[in-house]
Structure 1
Amino acid sequence: MASAPQNVSLPLFYNDLVLLSTQEHANWKSRSTDKAKWLAGVNTVPLTVEEFPMAQRHFPIVFSAGDNPFPIALMGMNEGVNVFVEEDGTVPSPIYMPAYVRRYPFLLARVQPNSDELSLCVDPTSDLVGEFEDGQPLFDGNNPSEACQNTLKFCEQFEIAGQKTANFMAELQKHNLLMDGELNIEIGTGEPVNYRGFRMVDENKLREVRGDILRTWNQSGLLALIYAHLFSLDLVRDIFGRQIAQGKGPALPQQSS
C-alpha cells in the first residue's frame, strides 16, 4: 500500500495517508455520515476565502499565527472545545460546515517529492472508507466510479480555492495589514478573559490604505472578504457564551465575597 511521503507531517484530522488505487482498493466503498467524529474537540478549522460569506454567519474568522498565516474558523474559544459538535460527532444545530471538514477522509497530495502532480489520497484509518456492504463503490472495474470522480472534483476545487486564499493572504501581508490579535471578554468580575495566539486585520492600517488600492480591492472582492473577517469577530461573545452554557468555559477568576 503506497503511503504518503515520509517525514511530512499529516494535516489536521488525518492519521495516515495512502494513494487511492485500483490495485489496493478495488473493493472499497465510501459511505456518508451525519456525524463528524473527527471534528469533535477541534476548535479551529482552516477556511478558504470563498467560504467567508457563509462562515462569517456562524464563526469568528481569524488568521493563524506564524510566518505563513491562513484563515481559520473559531468553533470554540479554547483548545479542545468545539461548541457546535458533540463528543460522538453529532452536530445538533444547522451550521455551515467548512469544506476542509467535508473533504475528509480524502485529499490531493504529492506522492512523489520531486513532482508537482497531485494524486487522490485517503486516510485508511477512517471508518468512512473500506470494504463495506453498504456505501458507494470507489471503482468500477479499473476506472474511478462516479462517486470517486465527484470526490476528485471536490478536492480539485478545494485546491483552486486554496490558491485564491494564498493570493489573498499575500495581499494582506504585502500591505502589512495583519497584527497579533487579542480578544478580551468582560465577564462581570472586573477581570476580562483574554485570548491571544492568532492574527487579525489591523483596522487602523486598513484606514490608511491608498484610495486606488481600495478601489482595486473593492472591484476584485478582496475588500468584502476583509470586512467579512472583521464583522465575524462580533461572534466571539456568542462562542464564549456557548462554552459557558455547555460547562466548557475557561477557569474564571474567583469573586471576592
Structure 2
Amino acid sequence: MTRTVLLNNLDHQDLRVITRRSAALGDAVMLAHTFPAEFRDLQAHYPIVFQKSADGTTFHPVALLGLQDGQNLFLDESGWTGHTLPLAIEREPFYIGQDGDEWLVHIDLDSPRLSRTEGEPLFLPHGGSSEHLERMTSVLLALHEGLQATPAFVSALLRHELLESFVLDVEHADGSQGRLAGFYTLNEERLAQLDGPALAALHQAGHLQAIYMVLASLSNFRTLIERQNQRQAARA
C-alpha cells in the first residue's frame, strides 16, 4: 500500500530518507522498470527484457535483478552489490505528479525509508531543498520523460514483429532446475531480415541504438545464474 501526498517544506520539514539498500526497505524485487534512454547505463549489468502490461495491450521494458519473484541477486546484507542502481529503484519513495503545467514531487508516507532520526534530510533548515531532494527531483523527471518516450519504442518493435516470448531453463549448482518464463525478448532473426528503409526508419526515430543495447544486455543472464549459484553455495 502507498499513501502519497504532495511534498512540502512545512508538513515534511523534519523528514529524512534512508538511502541504504535492504530487503526490509523494499529492495527485494525481481525487476525494475526501465526505458530506452537508460538502456546504455543498465545493459552492462542487467538483462533487459519486456513484460506484457496488466491489460495485455502493450509491453514494458524491465531490467531483471533476479530469476524468481522477490529475488534480487544484486542485494545482500551489505547492501546493493551492482555497479549501477536503476532509476526506478533509486527514486523510492518519491513519485511525480502534475498540477497544470507544473510537475510536483510527491512522497509515500507509508514507505519504510522515511525516518525522522536517520537518513538524508529533504529540506535545509531555512526550508530550501536538500541536495538529496534535488537529486530525486532530477531522477523523477528523467523517469517521467523516459517512460513517456517508451510507447513509441514499443510500438516500433511491435510494428516490425520484433518481440517474442522466451523461456530460460536454468540448471543450478546444486543440481536443481529452474525456469524463467513470462517475459519477452527481441527476435534477432527477424531483426536481421529488416530491409534498409526499415532500419533507417528505426535509426531516424532513435530506436535502433536502444535495440542493440537490449541485445547486448542478454549476456547478463550468465551473471544472474552465477550470482544465484554463488548464493546457493554460500548457504550450503
**TM-score using structure 1 length:** 0.74
Cross-structure match for 2:86: 98
CA 1:211–1:151 in 2, change beyond 3 Å: closer, same or farther? same
Cross-structure match for 2:20: 34
Could you list the per-position Cα deviations for residues 194-232 of structure 1 after superposition, in whole angstroms to 9, with x for gaps in the alignment? 321011112232223231120232344421211221222
**Structure 1 moving runs of 4+ over 4 Å:** 115-118, 139-147, 186-193
Aligned runs of 1:1-257 on 2, under 5 Å?
Answer: 15-30=2-17, 33-37=19-23, 38-66=25-53, 67-86=57-76, 88=77, 90-91=79-80, 93-109=81-97, 118-132=103-117, 135-138=120-123, 144=129, 147-185=132-170, 193-247=178-232
1:50 alignment partner AA: A
CA 1:105–1:191 in 2, change beyond 3 Å: closer, same or farther? closer
Gaps of 5+ in 1: 1-9, 249-257
Whole-angstrom CA distance in 2 between matches of 1:226 and 1:192: 30
1:90 alignment partner AA: G
- Whether contact under 8 Å (1:26, 1:141) holds in the other structure is no
2:147 alignment partner AA: G
Whole-angstrom CA distance in 2 between matches of 1:44 and 1:103: 14
Could you list the per-position Cα deviations for residues 24-75 of structure 1 after superposition, in whole angstroms to 9, with x for gaps in the alignment? 22333445x3324445421111112122122111111100124231111111
1:126 alignment partner AA: S
The structure carrying a bigger strand percent of its residues is 2
Whole-angstrom CA distance in 1 between matches of 2:126 and 2:115: 16
Could you list the per-position Cα deviations for residues 104-137 of structure 1 after superposition, in whole angstroms to 9, with x for gaps in the alignment? 1111035x8xx78643111223354343476434
- Whether contact under 8 Å (1:139, 1:148) holds in the other structure is no
What is the RMSD of the two structures over their aligned residues, measured on CA atoms? Answer: 3.2
Whole-angstrom CA distance in 2 between matches of 1:242 and 1:192: 15
Cross-structure match for 1:7: none
Whole-angstrom CA distance in 2 between matches of 1:236 and 1:117: 40
The alpha-carbon deviation at position 151 of structure 1 amounts to 2.7
Whole-angstrom CA distance in 2 between matches of 1:156 and 1:230: 26
Size of the aligned set, in residue pairs, is 229
Same amino acid, percent of matched pairs: 26
**TM-score using structure 2 length:** 0.80
Which secondary structure state, in structure 2, belongs to the residue aligned with residue 95 of structure 1? Answer: coil
The alpha-carbon deviation at position 191 of structure 1 amounts to 9.8
- Whether contact under 8 Å (1:61, 1:229) holds in the other structure is yes
